[in-house]
């Protein structure tokens, strides 16, 4: 048993801010939750080449049907190993 998504969230008029183990959302398949998938995830996700969730900070905002979501994360999917950050 373990945590799949573990983040703190603050929502206000400018947008939504999340910190912790946030969903990264690479592509359409990466943005879907497990309950909405019709088939298993592709090998890129199964072999952990592309991560689904990562430790970091995420900001989401929308206005008039347009949205922006930025994520700053460690890129490892686990603990930090190379001290580099990713901006997605």
Q: Please, what sign has the CA dihedral across residues 58, 6, 50, 42? A: negative
Mean pLDDT of residues grouped by 10 in the chain (88 residues)? 78 94 83 83 84 90 94 76 81
Per-residue pLDDT, 57: 94
Cβ proximity of 71 and 22 under 8 Å: yes
CA 7 centroid distance within chain:
10
Whole-structure pTM value: 0.74
Query: pLDDT value at position 24?
Result: 86
Burial class (CB in 10 A: 0-12, 13-18, 19+), 44: middle
- State the pLDDT at residue 3: 64
């Amino acid at each position: 048993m373990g945590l799949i998504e573990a983040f703190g969230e603050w929502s206000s008029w400018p947008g939504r801010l999340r910190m912790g183990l946030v969903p990264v959302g690479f592509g359409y398949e990466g943005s879907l939750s497990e309950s909405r998938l019709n088939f298993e995830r592709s090998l890129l996700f199964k072999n952990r080449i592309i991560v689904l969730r990562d430790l970091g900070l995420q900001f989401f905002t929308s206005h008039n049907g347009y949205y922006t979501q930025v994520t700053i994360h460690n890129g490892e999917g686990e603990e930090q190993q190379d001290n580099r950050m990713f901006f997605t």
